[in-house]
Structure formats: C-alpha cells, structure tokens
Amino acid sequence: MEEKKPAHWVMDYETLVNCFIAVFQHYKDETIRKTFVIYKDRNDLPQFIDFLNECKNKNQWHISYNGLAFDGQISQHILDKQRQLLTLSTEAVINDIYAFAQKTINLKDQNSFLEYAPAKIKIRQIDLFKMNHWDNRAKMSSLKWIQYSMDWQNVEEMPHHHTAPVETDEQLKMITEYCVNDVLSTKKILEHSKEQIVLRQTLTNDYGIDLYSASEPRISKELFLHFLSQKLGWEKSHIKTLRTHHSEIYLGQCMLPYVKFQTEEFKKMHDYLRTQVIISTKNGFKYTLDYKGMKTDYGLGGIHGARTAGVYEAKQGYTIMTSDVTSFYPNLAIRNGFHPSHLPKEEFCDLYEWFFEERKKIPKSDPKNYVYKIILNSTYGLTGDENSFLYDPKMTMQITINGQLLLSMLYEMICEEIPEAVPLMQNTDGFETLMPTYCIDKYHEICDRWCKITQLELEHDEYSKMIIRDVNNYIAVSKSGKVKCKGAFEWEDLDKKKVAVFHKNKSFLVIPKAIHAYFTKGVKPEDFLAGNQNIFDYCAGIKSKGGWYFENKEMKNGELITIRQQKIVRYYVSNKGGKLVKCHPDGRLIQVESGPWLQTTINEINETVPFDSYSINKSYYLEQIYKEINQIEKERSLSSTQLSLF
C-alpha cells in the first residue's frame, strides 16, 4: 500500500489575556481545518498537544506569517512544557501561554534573542514573512498590508484587543473567524509563493542548509559562505566574524586608471569626485552634471539622469537605442579584482567569476540559474552591510564610483562621436539615446571599443517610444511591441499578484493602467474607466505610523460623526461618504485626499455587489490620470521639434 504523504498546515495563533485560539488549515485540502480553543469551560489542550506531537513526529510542517518569531516560539514552548501544562487548570494554562507570548513580543521589540533559535523549533517551519524579506526595513509589511496588496476581500484588523478579556461566545466566535481569515490569507500568500518555495526546497536538498524561510539576501550570504568555506578551507564560523572597517575612504584611490574624459563637463565631474573623502557610506557623495540638455546626478545609489518630461518617439528614420551592461556590478568587480580586503583576492574573484560563468551554462528554467543571479546581484549590497562577512565599504565605493564613471565614458563617447545623438535617460547600468537609424553601426562600433577598454559586455535593444516623467518613472515601448513600465507607471506585476511586489503600494491601480492604455494604445481615459469595473483597481491603502491614526468624519442628519479607523485602511473616492483624516495626538490634522473629494472605507469587499452600487467618483480618477498625462504631454511638442532638427 502506498504510504500517504505527510500533511502540512498553514496556521495562526491568537493569544488573549483569558483565551487562546489556534487554527490550522491543510495546505492543499480546503475542507480540512483544525481549531483548538482554550477558554473558560473549553480546554482543547490535550488534543492540541497530541496534534503538535503528531506534526513533530510525522514531519508535518507549519506554514505561517512571522511564525519563527511568534507562533513557532509558542508551539515549542508548549511542547517543552507539555507535561506540566497538562496538570494545570484552564485558567493557568491560558496565563502561561499569554505570559510567554508577551515575553516573546517584548524580546522581539528589544531586538533581543528569542527563546528558541530556528534550529531549536522541532516542528519544521516555513515563515512567509521572513522568506519574502518583509522583515526588512525597506520592505516591512504586516499581514494586513499584504492582504490589501493581493486584493484579499477582508482586511479587517483584530476586532478585540488582546488585553481585554473575552466575555461572550459571540466575541469568541468573532475572534476565531478573524484567525481563520488570517490563516486563509496566509494560505493564499503560500500559493503565490510556490516558485519561491520550490527554489528553497531545491537549495536545501542540494546544500544541506535549511533555506526554507530564507530571504534572497540570506540565500546569497549562506551559499557564498558555503562555497567560500570550501574554496579557502576555512571554517564558516571564522569567516562569519570577518569585516573590514574604514574611518575614511578616498574616492580617488578607488577609481580605475583607464577612466578618461574628453569634454570639460565630464573632466570637471571627474576631478571633483576624485577629491572626495567618504566618512559614512550612508551620506555618500552628490554631484550634478548638465550635458547635451540632460541633467545627470551622481551619488552612492548610482548614476541617474533623464531629459525633460515628455513623449519621445522614434519617427521614420530614427530609433531609440537602449543599452545595458551585462551583470554590471558583478562583472565590474570580477574584471578589476575588487574584493573585500579581509578575503584573499584570487580566491574571492575566482569564486565570483565562477558563479557568473556557471549561470551562463544553466537554462533560465533551472532554479539554480536564478540562485546564481541572486548571489551575483546581492554581493554588492552585502559589501555595505555591517552584518555580512563581505563587509568592506571601500569595495562598495570601488564598484559604485567606477560604475558611474565608466557609464559616463560611454555616454560621452557616443554623444561626441555621433553629434545627432540625443541622450534621453541613464540609470545605474544603462542608458537610452535617440538617433537616426543610419548611426546605428557607428553606435555599435563605439560600444565595442568601450567593451574592449573595460572588458565588460553590453546588451542592446531598440525602442520606438519613451514616455518619460523622470528617471524613475517612465514607459518604454520596444520595436517588438514589448512595454516596460517603471515607478508610478508600474501596474502589470501588481495586477498579476506577483509576490515580489506585494510590499509596494498598489493604490489606485486604475490610474497607471489608464495611462498605459492611453500612451501605448491610444485609449481615452474616459473610455478606459467606463470599461473597468474592478473595484480593487479603484482602491487605495494607507497605514498609520509614529503615533498618527486615522479618523473618518462624515455628516449624518446634520451631525458630524467621527469614527476612529484601524491602522491600515482600504478606501476609494466616492460620490458620497466622509473625509478620511490623518490625526496626531498633538492636534495636527491632514486630509488623506485634500479638496472636496469624499472617501468610502471598504476594508471588507463582497465581490457579488453590483459595481454601480459603489458610487465611485470617476471625476477624481480622471483628474489624477490627466494630471499625469498633461505633465508629460506639455513637452511633447518640444520632443517632436528635436526630432525634426535631424
């Protein structure tokens, strides 16, 4: 008889002052759910402990949101104290679990070590919060925010504060339903994260390192450490202690000797940067250069420059060349021998290059291809991370300053040798240039020369149109018809519910969708809105921080009614409703949407409700869409004039 595959469970706990609730949902079968309650005369502790032991003994995984820092801690605490807990009264059991839960939260808030390291939690864990790097400061996201981002129907927050005693069966039912909602939404995140889980399963099996809950930077760190330890014959524990600190870094000493410029504008920039001394990589350096009608900013975050906002079209006889340096930062380090000072140069560079060469041999469909990409791209960031064994901010500076200088060299070479070329944009690892098609061969010849000087490679494509608001917000249409949207104009990955973008704010997604349709398909915004009846596209999300909170103020029967809102609010702009106001205890008030616009809070959405019943104020959305379009199109005549000059 074929052995049954083990069950795995998506789970969540609610720990209140006089009540404990645990909900477990089978990770595949929607009909299988287990709920355990410890409250008043209901004590499911014996069954709950049996279940936890079964999970541990049968290798059944627990899948959670922030489980390693909370739910998994409680599970292990109960397993460790199971004999003692079984002798206690219901009230004493609840008190024990609640006290441990509060202790765990306090330790986490103080950035202290938790009671149980991941390796000490006996029930295997997949923590979707950690895995997707939503614990990172730049991506920090609560489960409520992720629910909002993936258009979950119910984003209501906990209806009962954990310090308030549960007093009725109705309250117990309400809290249990809330817990079930969180579990089901976590299960949906799991479904969106399927590729990430498969990748981590492959890596864990191949390298014997538990990476199931690892973020991409941690995967990079762990695998680089694994291979580096093998190559050097050094213990991992020793390598982890290594760092190189600098009290100051002279940029001139970081620059490559073959960086050369022809024009005064670039020579002046070069001379300025070589005199800079960096005390803190957080502050870095800043310089702005104006050349051929485009301002370019230099700084620690890379090079950024864009022409005035406008629509730039490659009419007949013209093209927009776009060129990117292949794996720019990794190859810059490899070709020039950049390495952390505390690690041997030859071994480090050989290993770094090995990752690059191996990746080229592996099909993109193979998870290892993506792994090596993560390692190559994350290494630069890890050189500036004090928690990493690759930490050496001088290497960070060597990569970022030379990356900007070398890209500027190519930018200058093209614009000086092709006078008709109009620079449109450059950003970190590439740039776009408008030019007559008869200059393409010359363009490639210049690029080939630059590649020989730098030992780097370029990848090229041609755009037919660029819609530019600024360097971080644009739409690019390739001649093959493929469209790339960046910044405020991004919508496709959010629309497709890609887990990698769930931390971003998808507010009023109908706006970038309509702008995209207008510029790429000629669809009028009015027509686009008339055809879009997805209520989620009209919604926005806001979250309160630092003592601020939200209130909804609405006139009803001649009286102003004020209702305190939850920390994360989903709303849309409506023909009738109230005013959402951001409030501070010191008396400051800020309207969420300034002006006459009204808002309707919609933290729970019933998708069977007719769309017209929402009474959406489409005038607001049209105004926002046309504001973006007009900001870009006011320069459209200028960009057309530039083309006519050739």
Give residue-wise pLDDT tens across range 570-584. 999 999 999 999 999
d(CA 326, CA 207): 28
* pLDDT score for 638: 42
H helix or E strand, kind and range, residue 269: helix 264-274
The predicted pLDDT at position 366 comes to 83
Q: How confident is the model at residue 4 (pLDDT cuts 50, 70, 90)?
A: low
Q: What pLDDT was estimated at residue 607?
A: 87
pLDDT given for residue 367 in this prediction: 79
Q: In 3D, which of 117, 122, 119, 113 has the Cα closest to residue 82? A: 122
pLDDT in tens, 190-216: 999 999 999 999 999 999 999 999 999
pLDDT of residue 301: 83
62-64/9-16 β-pairing: parallel
What is the residue-wise DSSP string for 4-51? Answer: PPPP-EEEEEEEETTEEEEEEEESS-TT-EEEEEEETTEE-HHHHHHH
Report residue 279: phi and psi, to 5°. -95, -40
Residue 405 has pLDDT above 80, yes or no: yes
Q: Using CA atoms, how far apart are residues 374 and 219, in angstroms rounded to an integer?
A: 8
pLDDT score, position 646: 34
Q: Which of 235, 154, 143 is CA-nearest to residue 503?
A: 143
Closest by Cα among 588, 493, 496, 605 to 541: 605
For residue 32, give every residue at least 6 positions away whose Cβ sits within 8 Å of its Cβ, in sequence order, or none: 7, 25, 26
Mean pLDDT of 135-149: 95
For residue 559, pLDDT over 70 is answered with: yes
* Residue pLDDT, tens place only, 415-435: 999 999 999 999 999 999 999
Partners of residue 509 on adjacent β-strands: none
Distance CA 224, CA 302 (A): 24
Are the C-beta atoms of 82 and 49 separated by less than 8 Å?
yes
The C-alpha R_g of the chain, in whole angstroms, comes to 28
**CA dist list (Å): 128 to 11, 28, 152, 193, 506:** 12, 16, 17, 8, 20
Tell whether the model's pLDDT for residue 635 goes beyond 70: no
User: DSSP class of residue 588?
Assistant: -
Task: Please give the DSSP secondary-structure letter assigned to residue 154.
Answer: B
pLDDT at 641: 38
Residue 624 has pLDDT above 70, yes or no: yes
Average pLDDT, the chain: 94
Residue 1, pLDDT > 60, answer: no
Q: One-letter amino acid identity for 103?
A: K
The mean per-residue pLDDT over the stretch 253-259 comes to: 96
- How many C-beta neighbours within 10 Å does residue 411 have? 25
Q: What is the pLDDT averaged over residues 286-307?
A: 92
> How far apart, in whole angstroms, are the C-alpha atoms of residue 155 and residue 145?
8
| Segment (H or E) for 572 | strand 568-574
Please check the confidence at residue 495 and state whether its pLDDT lies above 50: yes
Burial class of residue 265 (count of CB atoms within 10 Å of its CB; 0-12, 13-18, 19+): middle
Q: How much of the chain exceeds pLDDT 90, in percent?
A: 90
Distance CA 571, CA 148 (A): 11
Provide mean pLDDT across the span 110-136. Answer: 96
Q: Residue 365: its pLDDT value, please?
A: 82
CATH fold of 249-340+383-489, please?
Answer: Palm domain of DNA polymerase (3.90.1600)
Q: For residue 347, which of 266, 520, 446, 229 has the smallest C-alpha distance?
A: 229
Residues forming a β-bridge with 94: none
Kindly indicate the confidence band of residue 622, based on its pLDDT and cuts at 50, 70 and 90: very high
Tell me which fold the domain 9-192 belongs to. Nucleotidyltransferase; domain 5 (3.30.420)
pLDDT band at 456 (very low <50, low <70, confident <90, very high): very high
Largest CA distance in the chain: 89
Average pLDDT of the residues in 14-35: 97
Quote helix, strand, coil % in the chain, to nearest 5: 45, 20, 35
Instruction: Classify residue 183 as exposed, middle or buried by CB count within 10 Å of its CB (0-12, 13-18, 19+).
Output: buried
Does 639 have pLDDT greater than 90? no
Q: What's the average model confidence in pLDDT over 537-542?
A: 98
pTM, two decimals, is 0.92
Helix or strand or coil: residue 375? helix
* % residues pLDDT > 70 (the chain): 97
pLDDT at 494: 96
Q: In this predicted model, what pLDDT tens digit does every residue of 213-228 receive, in sequence order?
A: 999 999 999 999 999 9
Domain positions in the chain: 9-192, 249-340+383-489, 521-633
Report the pLDDT value the prediction gives residue 640, as an integer from 0 to 100.
43
- Residue 5 clears pLDDT 70, i.e. is over it: no
> Are 497 and 192 within 8 A, CB to CB?
yes
> Could you tell me if 226 and 209 are in contact, meaning their C-beta atoms sit under 8 angstroms apart?
yes
The gap from C-alpha 153 to its chain's centroid, in whole angstroms, comes to: 22
- Average pLDDT of span 221-239: 95
Nearest to 331 by CA among 373, 296, 363, 302: 373
